[in-house]
């Protein structure tokens, strides 16, 4: 018995000696597990912080790059206002600071008038860098065949068509900034071979009325209002002395300024060179009178008219070159009415954002018309010359627009 008691006591002593070591092992395991978990959480936190810093730096760098591109784009359009155009020095900047941040941007414009211009802008924030770029193309005043800021009306049988277009050209467009009901009215049998575009936010079904007419393209609202800038007469032309009022026949071979043109019946003014005329007041061609542009190399006419324009019965602005780009009529702030009763086909463009333009002739027109309102009285055809979309650097109110934007 005493021997068994001794053995039992020994076992209890052995077990009690083993239990502290077992506890230590458990504690160490727990410490290791907690260490692994803590390290993982710490690593995750560090990676999250690094990702947040990298993301915020990327955003700041991209914002800086966009700011540089925007500034370069603005400077290019400002440079366009300087006549003559000079692209020997194009906008460029190095490490300019983006306001209210530590980011910087650099940009450069390359290219020329024939091949086009490209902007590349790089933004930096910390160790992150982003580059954006775009191509620029010129946009002129005559993107639309007809644009009536407030309204357009085509009478019975009138047609708007086009020519000189390429396969990849977008549709012909007739447009208005108006969103008021029946702002575009096409009477019986009228046809527009293209799209009708209305003011931003407007309902085409309400704005365009063409129950018995045809629109071959779409009717839709533009995304923003079409700007119609006012025309400024070149300073050199403003500074010329006035030649008074033209009432009788004459040939004009050089640019000039006149108080008015009030041409008597059947009289002819002939333009035989590259001529710009600034008419302070009205331009009136009485019955059968003509303002005639000869068909010869280099002959063209640009008219800046401060008053109203009226071509009376069988009168004509007669562009013998048949190239609409060679007769340009600009209505200034005071030009509020233009009435054409052309006795022959009219080749030219009219830009008069303050004027109500009425074409009463049965002859056809070739070119484009931009006005406050437009009304085609008779069943003639206005043929839009799609090459008018190909703006040149010397055109009035031309501007750069962005295309082919990219992010590297």
Q: How confident is the model over 2-59, as pLDDT tens digits?
A: 555 545 555 554 545 455 666 777 777 777 777 667 666 666 566 655 555 577 888 9
- Same domain? 152 vs 126: no
- Same domain? 181 vs 315: yes
Does residue 394 lie in a domain region?
no
How many domains does the chain divide into?
2
- What does the DSSP assignment read for 77-106? HHHHTSSS---SS--EEEEEEPTTSS-EEE
Residue environment code for 132-165, b if the CB has 16+ CB neighbours within 10 A, otherwise e: bbbbbebbbbbbbbbbbbebbbbbebbbbbbeeb
Higher pLDDT pick, 47 / 136: 136
The answer to whether 155 and 128 have CB atoms below 8 angstroms apart is: no
Q: How far is CA 180 from the centre of its chain?
A: 23
Give the per-residue pLDDT at 321: 97
Instruction: Taking residues 137-161, report their average pLDDT.
Output: 95
The two tokens of residue 317 are: 């602005």
Q: Is the peptide bond before 84 cis (omega within 30 degrees of 0)?
A: yes
Higher pLDDT pick, 82 / 69: 69
The answer to whether 345 and 363 have CB atoms below 8 angstroms apart is: yes
Residues 390 and 146: their CA atoms lie apart, in Å, by 17
Does residue 7 lie in a domain region?
yes
**pTM attached to this predicted model:** 0.83
Instruction: Taking residues 78-106, report their average pLDDT.
Output: 92
- Same domain? 54 vs 96: yes
- Same domain? 184 vs 242: yes
Residues 53 and 231: their CA atoms lie apart, in Å, by 50
- Same domain? 7 vs 114: yes
Cβ within 8 Å of residue 108, ≥6 positions away: 72, 90, 91, 92, 119, 120, 121
- Same domain? 252 vs 302: yes
CATH of the domain at 78: 3.30.1300.30
- Same domain? 80 vs 180: no
- Same domain? 268 vs 197: yes
Backbone angles phi, psi at 27, to 5 degrees: -65, -45
Residues 204 and 81: their CA atoms lie apart, in Å, by 36
Confidence of residue 139 (pLDDT cuts 50, 70, 90): very high
- Same domain? 206 vs 351: yes
Give the per-residue pLDDT at 20: 60
Residues 360 and 378: their CA atoms lie apart, in Å, by 6
Residue with tokens 């962005």: 402
- Same domain? 223 vs 347: yes
Q: How confident is the model over 255-309, as pLDDT tens digits?
A: 999 999 999 999 999 999 999 999 999 999 999 999 999 999 999 999 999 999 9
Q: SS3 for 134? A: strand
Cβ within 8 Å of residue 337, ≥6 positions away: 308, 309, 310, 355, 356, 358
Does residue 213 lie in a domain region?
yes
Residue with tokens 């052995």: 14
- Same domain? 112 vs 177: no
> Which residue segment(s) compose the domain that 56 sits in?
1-140+399-408
Beta strands in 99-252 (DSSP E): 104-112, 116-125, 128-139, 146-154, 159-163, 173-175, 184-186, 191-192, 195-198, 208-209, 214-215, 219-221, 245-246, 250-252
- Same domain? 236 vs 303: yes
Give the per-residue pLDDT at 52: 58
Q: SS3 for 310? A: strand
Cα angle 264, 269, 274 (rounded to 5 degrees) comes to: 155
């Amino acid at each position: 018995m005493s021997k068994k008691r001794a053995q039992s006591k020994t076992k209890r002593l052995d077990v009690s000696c083993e239990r502290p070591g077992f506890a230590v092992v458990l504690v160490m395991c727990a410490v290791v597990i907690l260490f692994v978990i803590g390290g993982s959480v710490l690593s995750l936190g560090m990676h999250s912080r690094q990702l947040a810093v990298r993301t915020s730096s990327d955003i700041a760098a991209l914002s800086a790059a966009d700011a540089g591109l925007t500034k370069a784009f603005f400077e290019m359009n400002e440079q366009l206002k300087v006549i003559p155009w000079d692209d020997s020095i194009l906008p460029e900047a190095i490490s300019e600071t983006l306001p209210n941040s530590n980011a910087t941007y650099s940009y450069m414009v390359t290219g020329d008038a024939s091949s086009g211009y490209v902007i590349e802008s790089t933004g930096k924030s910390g160790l992150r860098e982003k580059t954006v770029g775009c191509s620029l193309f010129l946009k002129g005043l005559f993107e639309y065949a007809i644009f009536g800021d407030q309204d357009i009306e085509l009478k019975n049988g009138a047609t708007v068509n086009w020519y000189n277009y390429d396969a990849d050209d977008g549709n012909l467009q007739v447009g208005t900034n108006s969103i008021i009901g029946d702002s575009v009215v096409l009477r019986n049998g009228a046809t527009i071979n293209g799209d009708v575009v209305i003011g931003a936010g407007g309902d085409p079904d309400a704005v365009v009325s063409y129950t018995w007419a045809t629109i071959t393209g779409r009717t839709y609202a533009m995304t923003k209002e079409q700007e119609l800038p006012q025309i400024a007469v070149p300073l050199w032309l403003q500074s010329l002395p006035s030649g008074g009022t033209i009432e009788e026949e004459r040939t004009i071979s050089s640019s000039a300024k006149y108080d008015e043109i009030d041409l008597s019946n059947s009289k002819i003014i002939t333009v035989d060179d590259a001529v710009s005329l600034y008419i302070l007041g009205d331009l009136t061609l009485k019955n059968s009178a003509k303002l005639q542009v000869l068909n010869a190399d280099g002959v063209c006419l640009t008219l800046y008219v401060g008053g109203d324009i009226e071509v009376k019965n069988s009168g004509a602005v007669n562009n013998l070159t048949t190239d609409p780009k060679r007769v340009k009529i600009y209505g200034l702030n005071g030009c509020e009415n233009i009435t054409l009763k052309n006795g022959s086909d009219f080749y030219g463009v009219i830009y008069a954002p303050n004027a109500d333009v009425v074409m009463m002739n049965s002859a056809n027109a070739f070119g484009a018309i931009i006005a406050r309102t437009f009304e085609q009285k008779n069943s003639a055809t206005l043929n839009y010359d799609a090459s008018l979309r190909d703006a040149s650097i010397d055109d009035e109110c031309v501007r750069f627009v962005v295309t082919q934007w990219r992010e590297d």
